[in-house]
Amino acid sequence: MKVRVHGRRRHYRTVDFDARINEVVLIEQRKLPHQFELTRTRTVQQTARAITNMTVRGAGAIGATAAFGLAQAARAFTGKTEPAFARHLQRAYETLAAARPTAVDLVNALNEVRASMAGDHTVAQQQRLSLKAARQFADDDVAHCQAIGRHGVKLIKNGMRVLTHCNAGWLAFVDVGSATAPLYAAQAKGKSFHVFCDETRPRSQGAALTAWELAQQGVSHEVIADNAAGHLMQRGEIDLVIVGSDRTLGRTGEVTNKIGTYTKAVLAARHRIPFYVAIPLSTIDWNLKSGLEIPIEEREEAEVLNAWGADAHGRFRQVRVANPSSTARNPAFDVTPPELITGIITPQGIFGPNDLWKEQKRLGG
C-alpha cells in the first residue's frame, strides 16, 4: 500500500526486516493516524514487546513479526554448539508465542519457521533458513490477501454501503489486508461504494487505522460509534458487513475477532444483512474443537477507562474518561458462531463456515 508522507506517495510494508543489522522494521501503529513513523526492534525481546504493546497489531502482521523475530533470534546466536542453539531458539519461540495469546497466525508463523530449520543442518544453515522462511511467510501473507481480494470483489456492488469492524486492512497484515482486500479490488475496477468504519473501542482501531487507510486510498468512508451500527441497519443504510479474524476454527467454523464482532453478527442476522469474514490460510486453527477453548486475551483495564489521542497542538495525551474509582473488564476478542456467518472469504474461494473442515486439504490443513 502507498502512503503519503511529506507530500510524496511511497509503498510501505507493515512488517519488514533489515538483514544487514538484524532488525525488524515496523510501522508504529500507536501513533497513527496523527503521525506516520517507522520503528525498529533490535532483539527478540523488543520484537515480542512490540506485539504485546500493539506497536504492531492484526493477525497477519503479528504473524510476520513473530516469524522475523524468530529469525532475528536465530541470527543473533553467537554460541558454538547445536544443543545451545536449540535451547536459545526455544526460549525465543516461547517469548514470541506468549506475546499475544488469541491470534493463531503468530504460532502458525513460528511453527513454519521452525519447521523450515528441521533436519541435518549446521547452525549457520539454520540461521539462513530461518530468515528465508520468515520472508516466505510475509510474502505468502501478501499473496493470500491479494487472492482474498480477487474472490471477494464480486460481493461489492455499485452503490453498496459496507460496514467494517476493527482493522483488517494492510496495517493488520504485511500488505493489502483481508477485509479491505475486496474493497481495494472493487475500487481498482472502478466500482463506487461507501464504507462505515466502526470506531472499535477501546483501542479505536477502526477510527484510527481503518479510516486512515481508506483516506490514504481515497475510498469514501465515515467513522461511526460502535453502537450506531444497529440504527443504520434498521434504517436500511448498511448492505454488507466484512470483518477479519484472528483465529477461525477449521473444525467448527467459529470465528474469533476483535471484541464487538459477535454483536455485529447478531445485528446483521436480525436485519438479514450478509456477514462475511476474510482470512488468509494462516488464520485457520485446525486443532481446537470448540470456540470455548480459544484463549481470549484480557488486556489492561486502563484501555477502557482512558482515551488516548493527539490534542489540537499535535501532542499525544491520555485522559481519564471513566469514573475515577471504577474498575473495568477488557476482553480483547469474542467468538462468532458459524450460523451467523454468511461466508468466509479465503485465498481459495468463499466457503460456508461449516464447509472448512471438508475442504481441509484445499485450505492447507
Note the pLDDT tens digit of each residue in 241-300: 999 999 999 999 999 999 999 999 999 999 999 999 999 999 999 999 999 999 999 999
pTM: 0.94
Q: How far is CA 202 from CA 143, 306, 351, in A?
A: 31, 9, 31
d(CA 239, CA 57): 28
Element housing 27 (H / E): strand 23-27
Please report the pLDDT score of residue 313 as a whole number.
86
Average pLDDT of span 230-246? 98
| Cell digits of residue 225 | 460509534
Please report the pLDDT score of residue 5 as a whole number.
82
Res 166 pLDDT > 90? yes
Residue 165 burial by CB count (10 A; 0-12/13-18/19+): exposed, middle or buried? buried
Q: Are 151 and 350 spatial neighbours (Cβ–Cβ below 8 Å)?
A: yes
Looking at every residue in the chain, the average pLDDT score rounds to: 96
Res 1 pLDDT > 90? no
Find the farthest-apart pair of alpha carbons in the chain and give their distance in angstroms, rounded: 68
Res 187 pLDDT > 90? yes
Res 80 pLDDT > 90? no
Average pLDDT of span 220-227? 97
Q: In Å, how far from its chain's centre is CA 328?
A: 25
101 preceded by cis ω (within 30°)? no
Domain assignments of the chain as residue spans, ordered by start: 2-145, 151-359
Res 8 pLDDT > 90? no
Res 45 pLDDT > 90? yes
Q: Are 231 and 264 spatial neighbours (Cβ–Cβ below 8 Å)?
A: no
Confidence of residue 159 (pLDDT cuts 50, 70, 90): very high
Domains 2-145 and 151-359 share a fold: no
Element housing 91 (H / E): helix 82-97
Confidence of residue 358 (pLDDT cuts 50, 70, 90): very high
CATH class of 2-145: mainly alpha
Please report the pLDDT score of residue 145 as a whole number.
97
d(CA 276, CA 163): 10
Q: Which of 105, 141, 175, 246 is catalytic?
A: 246
- Fold for the domain defined by 151-359: Rossmann fold (3.40.50)
Q: How far is CA 216 from CA 1, 169, 213, in A?
A: 9, 12, 5
pLDDT digits (tens, 9 = 90+) for 114-150: 999 999 899 999 999 999 999 999 999 999 999 999 9
Catalytic status, residue 355: no
d(CA 239, CA 255): 21
Res 6 pLDDT > 90? no
